[in-house]
Amino acid sequence: MVDVNIRLDHYDRCYYPNDTVSGVVVVSSDSRASHNGIKLSVEGVVNLRLSPRSVGLFEAFYSSLKPMEVMSYNIEVAPSGKLPKGDTELPFEFELKPKKNMKLHETYHGVYIDVQYVITVEMVRGFPNKNIKKSIEFICKSKGKKQNEEKVSFSMTPETLKNVVKQVNTIFFTFFVYLFVCTIFLLQDAFRKLQLGIFIYVHVNIKKKSSKKPLNFSISGYFDSGVCNVEEPFTGEIVVEEADQEIKSIELQFVRVETCIYGETDIREATEVQNIQLADGNVCHKLAIPIYMIFPRLFTCVTTVTKQFKVLFLFHSCNKYQRRKPVALFLCLNRSSLKLML
């Protein structure tokens, strides 16, 4: 029996552009094994998918967007020959550089857009044995620098209430507040914008008999910083100062917006990345409720705008929304920040 594995020099498999990616191909065999060569290929690909909701099920199924290959390498790890019994380590290395006229994008796993960097090794064997393949994904990250931090305050009042949904016995309204728009500052002279949509919604349950009564509530809070490191938790506090109706829940939602350029049409879809409940039930008034959210690193990336696709993170609601608070989000160079890697 012959088994092939790939082992990289970084145990977190995270690399930055222009880094040297090195490792070994480990071939484990119960006996001497002959082969016709061991080859290694590296691919960085952006895969795009159309949304059936936007273009229709038939169009999404039969129409395909060509993947964008941002990098590609083919390396011969070992020529044809025989390998001894036991484990054999075959070293390899390559530079993380894009193809000509292309640019490396951050690793990202979305619903309609994927950016992946994959190493595949293949051990070619003669008939009747089958070739052995093994693949492993590594993470490409952008470089950034630390920014100044400053608290950002926000408040919610009945004047910002926009959405009211009537039902038979109860009236529910969902109060959406757009907390911030984030900007990623990169090391380059120019900077890109990342619109990162995190919004709080307060779900209030009102009995029918009081549906005509004006609502009276006041909610305030703050973010610990208007400049956030994507590899550190997003923190702050929210306080229900007063509310004459019962609050059902307070939740924190993180939304992404992906756009595929199909012909001359921008196909834009918003999907939820994660939803965190901050409070359940009618919370005590004037009690500080902590906000603590970890950015899902593989599902969050810098804003990417190309001729073929766009990846943004911003507030999206089928109803109306209200306030916006600017907050900058940056990437640091610290390789040891691994606790957020999923």
Q: Give, in order, the Cα–Cα distances in Å from 293 to each of 37, 194, 195, 235.
A: 48, 18, 17, 7
Q: What is the rounded distance in angstroms from the CA atom of residue 176 to the CA atom of residue 251? A: 10
One of 2.60.40, 1.10.10, 1.10.8, 1.10.1740 is the CATH number of 152-330, namely: 2.60.40
Q: What is the rounded end-to-end Cα distance, in angstroms, of the chain?
A: 33
pLDDT of 122: 92
Which range has the worst mean pLDDT, 107-111, 123-127, 334-338? 334-338
Look at residue 43 and tell me whether its pLDDT is greater than 90: yes
> What mean pLDDT comes out for the span 33-62?
75
> Is 315 in contact with 272 (CB distance < 8 Å)?
no
Which range has the worst mean pLDDT, 5-9, 100-104, 326-330? 326-330
Confidence class of residue 236 from pLDDT cuts 50, 70 and 90? confident
Confidence class of residue 47 from pLDDT cuts 50, 70 and 90? confident
pLDDT digits (tens, 9 = 90+) for 274-291: 888 888 878 888 999 898
What SS3 class is residue 298? Answer: helix
Q: Which has the closest alpha carbon to 98: 143, 140, 160?
A: 140
Look at residue 240 and tell me whether its pLDDT is greater than 90: no
Q: What is the rounded distance in angstroms from the CA atom of residue 324 to the CA atom of residue 301? A: 21
Q: Which has the closest alpha carbon to 90: 107, 78, 102?
A: 78
Q: Which has the closest alpha carbon to 110: 303, 318, 306?
A: 303
Topology adopted by domain 2-140: Immunoglobulin-like (2.60.40)
pLDDT of 309: 64
> What mean pLDDT comes out for the span 10-28?
92
pLDDT of 97: 92
pLDDT digits (tens, 9 = 90+) for 69-116: 999 999 999 899 888 888 899 999 999 999 988 888 888 888 888 889
Q: Which has the closest alpha carbon to 255: 342, 339, 181?
A: 181
Domain boundaries of the chain, sorted by first residue = 2-140, 152-330
Domains 2-140 and 152-330 share a fold: yes
pLDDT of 203: 53
Look at residue 178 and tell me whether its pLDDT is greater than 60: no
The answer to whether the predicted template modeling score (pTM) of the entire model surpasses 0.85 is no
Rounded to 10 degrees, the C-alpha dihedral 63/69/72/74 comes to 10
Q: Which has the closest alpha carbon to 293: 198, 196, 216, 227?
A: 198
Residue 10 corresponds to which tokens in the numbers above? 């970084």
Q: DSSP string covering 5-41, please?
A: EEEESSTT-EE-TTPEEEEEEEEEESS-EEES-EEEE
